[in-house]
Amino acid sequence: MAKADIEQEEVMIGVEWKSEWQFSFRPSPAKEYVEIFFEAYPGENPITLSLYHASGLRVRKMALKNHTAPFSLHLDLSDLKPGLYYLNIQSAIKNQAVRLFIQQ
């Protein structure tokens, strides 16, 4: 019996799913703070920013509503230990995580 070539495609009806944000942050590596810059539009409200330690523990969570593009945010890191963290930015149609290093 011959195997048929089947191409599978993930389909979400009524929603265009985008996985990448246009965002950046500095300084890198971070010390006392990080400035986060990103493009977000009214259809993407609300936006949730979460910061996770490499162990998976969430150490920050912020819900951002009614913002305008481009958007910037000053995030205080002074109470966090040095190490690897993951910054996650999520809306109803986008989700992305990036590595953030915090040093002394």
Domain extents in the chain: 23-71+80-102
Lowest average pLDDT, out of 18-22, 61-65, 74-78, goes to: 18-22
Does 2.60.40 match the CATH number of domain 23-71+80-102? yes
Of the candidates 80, 73, 74, the residue with the CA atom closest to the CA atom of residue 104: 80
CA distance 24 to 39: 10
Is it the case that residue 61 has pLDDT exceeding 50?
yes
CA distance 96 to 45: 15
The number of angstroms, rounded, from the C-alpha of 83 to the middle of its chain's C-alpha atoms is 18
Report whether 25 contacts 74 (CB < 8 A).
no
CA distance 60 to 44: 20
Per the model's pLDDT, the better-predicted residue between 71 and 5 turns out to be: 71
